[in-house]
């Protein structure tokens, strides 16, 4: 069964750091691009970052550029989101999603999400 | 950046109704438009990709149409399990923007 599972969320103070992980199973992880998408409580979906299958192409939303860093380890079937300089507005559920290239990058598989709360 | 405008932001409908949700892009995105369904407390689920292609396992009462800047998601006969929030998303270029969502509620 194709599966994504996020971990690493929690409560962190403003300015703090957190590292999210997403473990993949049931498919050839190294063949797929991955993204992180977040959702603040009661709000809509916001794409955060993208990494290509080999890790050579990376994109970020302007709102997180310079503070969040996406990476992957294909040997461990995992994608990561290093979050530094966290702000209250970064509080959200963070989902990892598999991207399939059909009409552009389409998110066909999603994890269950992990909650990040930035508060003093 | 390409902006995505969804309408309406919410609607009330009855089981059996035909429901239409629209999504407009600020510039042409060809057919690089996808639709997702999200239920409370759950991750989004892909329904339609490439504007009109039905994702495997999704009921045929869901359909998508459009190209360029104007797109539509139609639910032919609304079922109880379809009450949820629906999002469009452009996959033409980064940033991969989502629409603001349409919440479909029970009338």
B91: chain A residues, CB-CB within 8 Å = 103-106
In sequence order, what E strands does chain A have?
A: 3-7, 10-12, 18-25, 33-39, 45-51, 58-60, 68-73, 78-83, 92-102, 104-110, 114-118
Cα A109 to chain centroid distance, Å, stands at: 13
Cβ contacts of B47 within 8 Å, gap of 6 or more: B35, B36, B37, B54, B55, B58, B62, B64, B73, B86
Q: Say yes or no: A62 contacts chain B, CB-CB below 8 A.
A: yes
Of A45, A46, A105, the CB nearest to B91: A105
What's the pLDDT at B42? 97
Half-sphere exposure of B41 (CA within 13 A, CB side): 0
- Tens of pLDDT, residue by residue over A9-54, are 999 999 999 999 999 999 999 999 999 999 999 999 999 999 999 9
- Cross-chain CB nearest to B44 (options A45, A59, A103): A45
User: Residue A102: which pLDDT band, with cuts at 50, 70 and 90?
Assistant: confident
Chain A residues with CB inside 8 Å of B99's CB? Answer: 44
**CA A21, chain centre distance (Å):** 8
Q: Would you state the pLDDT for residue A101?
A: 85
Tokens encoding B27:
């510039």
Is B33 within 8 Å of A105 when comparing Cβ atoms?
Answer: no
Sort out which chain A residues have CB atoms less than 8 A from B55's CB and list them: 108
B positions 30-59 inside 8 Å of A (CB): 30-34, 36, 38, 42-46, 49-51, 53, 55
Is it the case that residue A66 has pLDDT exceeding 90? yes
Q: Is A41 on the interface with B (CB under 8 A)?
A: no
pLDDT band with cut points at 50, 70 and 90 for residue A99: very high
Q: What is the pLDDT of residue A103?
A: 77
How many CB atoms are located within 10 Å of the residue A25 CB?
11
Chain mean pLDDT for chain B = 97
The bridge status of strand B70-75 relative to strand A114-118 is unpaired
Instruction: Number of A to B CB contacts under 8 A, please give it.
Output: 70
Rounded to a whole number, what is the distance in angstroms from the first to the last CA of chain B?
36
**Contact B95/A59, CB-based, under 8 Å?**
yes
């Amino acid at each position: 069964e194709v599966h994504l599972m996020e971990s690493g969320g929690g409560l962190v103070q403003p300015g703090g750091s957190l590292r999210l992980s997403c473990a993949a199973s049931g498919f050839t992880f190294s063949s797929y691009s991955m993204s992180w998408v977040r959702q603040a409580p009661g709000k809509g979906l916001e794409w955060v970052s993208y990494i290509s299958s080999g890790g050579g192409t990376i994109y970020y939303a302007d709102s997180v550029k310079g503070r969040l860093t996406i990476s992957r380890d294909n040997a461990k079937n995992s994608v990561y989101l290093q979050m530094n300089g966290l702000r209250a507005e970064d509080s959200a559920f963070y989902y990892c999603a598999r991207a399939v290239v059909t009409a552009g990058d389409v998110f066909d598989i999603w994890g269950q999400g992990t909650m990040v709360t930035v508060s003093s | 950046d390409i902006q995505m405008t969804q309408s309406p932001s919410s609607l009330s409908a009855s089981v059996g109704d035909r429901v239409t949700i629209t999504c407009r892009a600020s510039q042409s995105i060809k057919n690089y438009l996808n639709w997702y369904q999200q239920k409370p407390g759950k991750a989004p689920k892909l329904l339609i990709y490439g504007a009109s292609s039905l994702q495997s396992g999704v009921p045929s009462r869901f359909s998508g149409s459009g190209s360029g800047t104007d797109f539509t998601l139609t639910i032919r006969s609304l079922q109880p399990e379809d009450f949820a929030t629906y999002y469009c998303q452009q996959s033409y270029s980064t940033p991969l923007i989502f629409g603001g969502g349409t919440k479909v509620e029970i009338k």
